[in-house]
Chains A and B, each alone.
Chain A
Amino acid sequence: MELQAVLMAAGGGSRMMELTYNTHKPLLPVGNKPLIWYPLNLLERVGFEEVIIITTKDVQKMLTPDRLKLDGKMKLDVVCIQLEGEMGTADALRHVQQKIKTDVLVLSCDLITDVALHEVVDLFRAHNASMAMLMSKLHEFTETVPGQKGKKKAGEQRDFVGVDATGQRLLFMANEADLEDGLTIRKSIMCKHPSMRIRTGLLDAHLYCLKRCVVDFLVENKNISSIRGELIPYLVRKQFSKSVNLPNNKDEVEMSQKMEGQTNLEILGSCKDEELLRLTQERSCWNDHHGDMSEAYHGGKVRCYVHIMEDGVCYRVNTLAAYIEANRMVSAPKLIEDPPIHPSAVISECTQVGADSIIGASCQISDKTSIKRSTVGASSTVREKVKITNSILMNGVTVEEGCNIQGSVICSNAVIGRNADIKYCLVGSSQRIEPDGEQRVLEYYHGSSQGKICHLEPMTV
């Protein structure tokens, strides 16, 4: 077996609590499919037969194949973890270490992409890399985010990603938050790779191919708790650290281990390095760089590669804005093969349903309604003379006559009263909007009975 897939679905969705307080993040509907369907579909399309899903107990109950609408025969091996301990992704990977017997492909459940996965995996295979990851050009979200009054924050902390001249080898990775005095690049890196491109507008897709020895290394070093936050930067730095000469006798190994305080990644990895592989490299007339006296890869054993998608769909649904954008994008036929309008939906004659709208199963759309660029969830009812534009309606929503919904997100089982006029609002789950009344703009409706989130008033983020 070559690769095992591990899907991380235990995250809480802390940046979009308005949506996730009621529905768990992996089950949020995007284009009328649960969010977790997208990475699973990606894996299934390329030919994976088994996936290990790490999630919480509540989500596990919902992860039955028919709920997930998976057509294929992919086996899902669901592993539960407790959320109280604030487990990071690396801790979760350590938890399932017993099941991992080969190299591993780690995915996040909120990734929606149509990348050709072989591009990432080929880098991993061809260069015998320790890590290969996927990044994509960051899209700016221009749509107004419902329920958020006030200016948006200037933007999250940027990531600085340094790649070499070919654009594939990852040389440098740091987040703006960690760089106090400015960007410093070690001279040794500049000597080895004099031409480096530093890019900031990249989105990390949280898709990593990791070698088996990296997983073993994680098991030894329990202080690493997050893959993205700690493991990846460590691996990138490790490419250029002074290589440890393989100690010849046992005493030296123990001594060096004590000095380091943690098991050296190279010792774990290079013991497996075969004599024949070295011989092959010696005889091959290929080098990955030209101009200096060193051999291929500068003799380094740890190598990190990145595939940067220039075009194509790649979203990480971890904020409200991303969620809305993803719903729009998903109506593009590349990702979903089902027809946008579910066959069991009942749509009357005089309605206008735009080509880029998605209607879920068993919906009832009455006369004289107009639905444009929107998603209507399953079992929803939309009465007459309703205008829905640019909105997302989740399952079981009832919209009474004469409403005008624009740019809003209506969560499941909500009821919008007659003639309500909603613009850029976020209506929480099972809420009820009173009929009539003046236009509501940028409001966030949530039940005040939910103690957990009462601090999330109309947002001034």
Chain B
Amino acid sequence: MADADETSKQAERNTNVGDGIAVKKQDIARAKNEGKELTKDEKQRLRKEKKQQKKNKKDDKGESEHENVPLPPSQAVVQCQSQKAPSVAPSLALTPVSVCTSEKPAKSKAEQRAERRARQEADRAAKGKKGESAQQPPSGKSKAPPNELQPVVKRLPEHVQVDDPAAVRKLAKKLERQQIPVRSEYGYKVSLFSHLHQYSRKAPLTQQISIPSTVIHPYIVRLGLQYSQGIVAGSNARSIALLHAFQKVIQDYKTPPNEELSRDLVNKLKPYISYLNQCRPLSASMGNAIKYVKKEISNIPCLCKEEEAKKQLLSCIDNYIKEKITLAATTISAYAIEKISNGDVILVYGCSSLVNHILCDAFDKKRKFSVIVVDSRPRLEGREALRRLVKKGICCTYVLISAVSYILPEVSKVFLGAHALLANGYVMSRVGTSQIALVAKAYNVPVLVCCETYKFCERVQTDSFVSNELDDPDDLMVTRKGKIHLENWQDIRQLGLLNLVYDVTPPDFVDLVITDLGMIPCTSVPVVLRVKNVDQ
């Protein structure tokens, strides 16, 4: 498809150069007949012009000054054609631009290559063998000289590089481009986790944006606020809220002229996603949901009318929620109920919406069991799980995690929820889960993890340090009898407060994973991922 386009464009160019005026007149006539709407070809041409423009700008930076002179006229022409609708300009601009771009690289390719080689050597010498993403790998337009062996540059995500000033600067530049404010770090970070972000709940991101928010959609602002204050917490709730907000964004979206919905809407969503990431780091389930939505948007056929496209997208999102979250929960509880027998004592940790759902369903189906809810500070989410189960009528016991080895001899099964399932079989869940799994293993109690397939992610992690989330350290302050303990923790130099959110549990401690595809062992996660990718 691309090749055919190229050749047709080549042909067009040649004919333009050859026929010149006659073709231009035809174009003008055609444009007048078709009105202001650009045809698909013209839109593609426009896009190519913009890309050329960007390339030329980049070249300019590396070039000496005298080479700028041939560029401005073509750039000026290119720019003015991007503003006007009629197709006269593209055909006019095409000629000078094509001429220019063929001239310039020929002049300066050698120079560019030499400069770039020199730069790379200098960078490599300075940074050693770190191979960070801050170093720009050679851009694709000029092929790297084959006799040079480039070290494989592994890109680290920026959210684990907070102690690297270059990565922080890069993030700041990206956010500035998207007009999103940067959230400032808070408090002293424990050295092992100094590569992660740590924010304060008392300094919300809304302080730095205008009050009737114009850059960011109001629903996204509200969502970000709810994330950062913990009003919407829990992997499933966050994903549903995110998709709901996306639905609102799509409803309010209007395609600007000369743009296609399938391309522009994705660009519109990018700053919103950065904003939400600043409010609270995205979860794996949210990441998968975003990938799905972006894929659906890009798959919208270009000839589709805006109303239809919007309706289709909204129904896609509804289907995703229905299939991957609601129906998955029903399926999982149908599988799980086979594992719950009468007289069981089930241990749960924290508040997992899926595990609560399973237990409530099992209770509805007249299974006789009792539950032990284990809870931990500072979130104390177990209280909410306790409330929901007791409201249903289930017999519950409530303990803190420090007592888990005391009550485990009485437990027959452990049901755990998961935030994400990693590709090497590790389970990423609320901090404390790995402890429970460890102690359960020691007492030979089966551990069952319940997780929907949309939470499976391709990351690999073997410890909880590399990638995690740091919550507000002030949450650890507690008021007892009117006295706030740890009130002035910032004044004590040697004291650091650590409020971790997640930890990873190795697959040796997990006996079974119950997903909507069935009950699988932990090590089968890569298989599921592979099957999912093939499906898509």
Interface, chain A (partner B; CB < 8 A): 1-5, 46-49, 116-118, 121-122, 125-128, 274, 276-277, 279-287, 290, 293
Contact = CB atoms under 8 A, between A and B. Distances in A.
Given A118-B206, A126-B231, 10 more contacts: A2-B218, A49-B212, A118-B204, A125-B221, A276-B244, A279-B240, A282-B353, A284-B237, A284-B241, A286-B232
A118 B489 CA distance: 28
Interface stretch (B61-69, B381-389, B501-509): B381-389
B390 A121 contact: no
A16 to B, nearest CB: 31
Contacts of B229: 126
B139 interface: no
Interface in B179-234: 204, 206-207, 209-214, 218, 221-222, 225-226, 229-234
Contact of B207 (A116, A281, A282): A116
A189 B115 CA distance: 74
Interface of B: 204, 206-207, 209-214, 218, 221-222, 225-226, 229-234, 236-237, 240-241, 243-244, 247, 321, 326, 350-353, 381, 383-385, 387, 390-391
Contacts of A287: 383-384, 387
Contacts of A283: 234, 236-237, 240, 353
B210 A122 contact: no
B206 A2 contact: no
A2 B207 CA distance: 16
A122 B231 CA distance: 13
B384 A285 contact: yes
Contact of A126 (B222, B243, B350): B222
A122 B381 CA distance: 24
Contacts of A276: 240-241, 243-244, 247, 321
A121 B232 CA distance: 18
A285 B381 contact: yes
A10 to B, nearest CB: 23
Contacts of B352: 285
A46 B210 contact: yes
Nearest to A118: B206
Contacts of A274: 244
A25 B387 CA distance: 54
Given A2-B212, A2-B213, A293 B390 contact: yes
Given A4-B212, A126-B229, A285 B351 contact: yes
A285 B234 contact: yes
Contact of B225 (A1, A125, A281, A282): A125
B207 A285 contact: no
B212 A286 contact: no
A126 B225 contact: yes
B420 to A, nearest CB: 16
A2 B214 CA distance: 8
A3 B211 contact: yes
B349 to A, nearest CB: 12
Contact of B232 (A4, A118, A284): A284
Given A3-B212, A47-B210, A118-B207, A286 B231 contact: yes
A127 B353 CA distance: 21
A117 B229 CA distance: 18
A125 B353 contact: no
Nearest to B215: A47
Contacts of A128: 222
A286 B384 CA distance: 7
Contacts of A127: 231
22 contacts: A1-B214, A2-B212, A2-B213, A2-B221, A3-B211, A3-B212, A4-B212, A46-B210, A49-B212, A118-B204, A118-B207, A122-B225, A125-B206, A125-B218, A126-B222, A276-B240, A283-B353, A285-B351, A285-B353, A286-B233, A287-B384, A293-B387
A261 to B, nearest CB: 34
Nearest to A43: B211
A4 B236 CA distance: 33
Contact of A280 (B209, B210, B225, B232): B232
A99 to B, nearest CB: 15
Contacts of B222: 125-126, 128
Contacts of A4: 212
B244 A293 contact: no
A290 B207 contact: no
Contact of B241 (A3, A280, A290): A280
Max chain B C-beta neighbours (<10 A), residue from A48, A283, A293: A283
A225 B533 CA distance: 62
Contacts of A117: 211
A285 B218 contact: no
Nearest to B317: A276
Contact of B211 (A47, A280, A281, A282): A47
Nearest to B252: A1
A47 B212 contact: yes
B83 to A, nearest CB: 24
A284 B233 contact: yes
Nearest to B242: A280
A386 to B, nearest CB: 45
A116 to B, nearest CB: 7
Contacts of A279: 240, 321, 326
A280 B206 contact: no
B234 A284 contact: yes
Nearest to A276: B244
Nearest to B388: A295
A3 B237 CA distance: 26
A139 to B, nearest CB: 25
Contacts of A1: 212, 214, 218
B513 to A, nearest CB: 20
A118 B353 CA distance: 32
A68 B236 CA distance: 51
Contacts of B351: 285
Contacts of B233: 284-286
B147 to A, nearest CB: 56
A190 to B, nearest CB: 20
A385 B356 CA distance: 83
Contacts of A49: 212, 214
Contacts of A47: 209-212, 214
Nearest to A128: B222
A321 B417 CA distance: 62
A44 B135 CA distance: 42
The 6 closest A-B pairs by CB, nearest first: A47-B210, A285-B351, A284-B237, A2-B218, A283-B237, A276-B244
Contact of B391 (A125, A282, A293): A293
A127 B222 CA distance: 9
A286 to B, nearest CB: 5
A121 B206 contact: yes
A126 B234 contact: no
B323 to A, nearest CB: 14
A287 B387 CA distance: 10
Max chain A C-beta neighbours (<10 A), residue from B204, B383, B387: B387
